[in-house]
Amino acid sequence: MRLDGLEGSRVLVTAGASGICAVVAARFAEQGARVHVCDVDAGALRAFAAGHPGMGATAADVSRAADVDRLYDEALAALGGLDVVVSGAGIAGPVGNIEDIAEEDWRRCLDVNLTGAFLVARRAAPILKRQRGGAIVIISSNYGLFAQRSRSAYVASKWALIGLTKTLAMELGPFGVRANAICPGNVEGERIERVIAAEARAKGMTPQELRALWDQGASMRTFVTADDVADTILFACSVAGRHISGQALAVDGHTEFV
């Protein structure tokens, strides 16, 4: 289904070489958007670029300001401007009780998940303000709406992203720019299987037991897909979502407990 306002739009997607954001990038391209992606994994980025020859690609670690500056230089040169930014770079962070978490692991999680989103939004804001329109989408998590034992760094970063999003909506709204956070639940794929394995070990459970518990945690008793998340992001960035801003939009089958 075509969504008004996406054809010809200029879109930057971080962490776009794999997972949810690779699907998001591909779906924008299907709508006729021009897309540039970045990823810290150079191998994944090469593979993605080979499969999507019409897209630009930059190897970048969004937790580094110099990398983000270089990313924007390359994206703007390739796209000629910017209409949509999807900030999706994130890592799972350490798993364990807070007294067992190393400071460097805590800092790395917040550097990527939170500071990365800040650096990406900081460069996007003046561009979108000047043209008086556009959209920023930050991928948070249902853990940004609830919390979870043994995931303090990840939870802290994802809660903070919602606060960052709401502040962006206030600062950018007078210029016609909207900002929203997307809060996925458990998304099918390799990444969630790794998270399940790590959390199951920390809790003394089998991965099968933990997955069954998480299934019960959603009212719809199911995990979601990357396409479900992409659908919501595209809608929020389309003409149909032009007055949606400052929201934390959950795509999770309604989480009852985590």
pLDDT tens-place string over residues 40-89: 999 999 999 999 998 999 999 999 999 999 999 999 999 999 999 999 99
Confidence band, pLDDT 50/70/90 cuts, at residue 244: very high
Q: Average pLDDT, whole number, for the chain? A: 95
**Within its chain, how far is the Cα of 110 from the centroid?**
14
The better pLDDT of the pair 209, 229 is held by 229
**Within its chain, how far is the Cα of 240 from the centroid?**
21
Kindly state the average pLDDT of the residues 230-237.
98
Confidence band, pLDDT 50/70/90 cuts, at residue 212: confident
pLDDT at 258 over 80: no
pLDDT at 222 over 90: no
26-30, 142-146, 208-212: segment of lowest average pLDDT? 208-212
Inter-residue contact 85 to 181 (CB < 8 Å):
no
pLDDT at 170 over 90: yes
Confidence band, pLDDT 50/70/90 cuts, at residue 168: very high
- The residue extents of the domains of the chain are 10-185+229-242, 186-223
Catalytic (active-site) positions: 154
- Scanning the structure block, which residue is given the tokens 């939004």? 121
| Class (C level, CATH) for 10-185+229-242 | alpha beta
pLDDT at 94 over 80: yes
Q: Given this model, what pLDDT does residue 108 score?
A: 98
Confidence band, pLDDT 50/70/90 cuts, at residue 189: confident
> CB pairs under 8 A, 24+ apart, for 98-106?
98/152, 101/152, 101/153, 105/153, 106/152, 106/153
Q: Given this model, what pLDDT does residue 78 score?
A: 97
Alpha helices in the chain (DSSP H): 19-30, 42-51, 65-79, 103-110, 116-131, 152-172, 190-203, 207-216, 226-237
Q: Given this model, what pLDDT does residue 60 score?
A: 97
Q: Given this model, what pLDDT does residue 194 score?
A: 85
State pTM to two decimals: 0.93
pLDDT at 213 over 80: yes
Q: Given this model, what pLDDT does residue 30 score?
A: 97
Q: Given this model, what pLDDT does residue 191 score?
A: 79
Residue 218 CB: number of other CB atoms within 10 A?
20
Q: Given this model, what pLDDT does residue 215 score?
A: 84
Q: Of 136, 192, 204, 184, which Cα lies nearest the Cα of 164?
A: 136
Kindly state the average pLDDT of the residues 6-17.
97
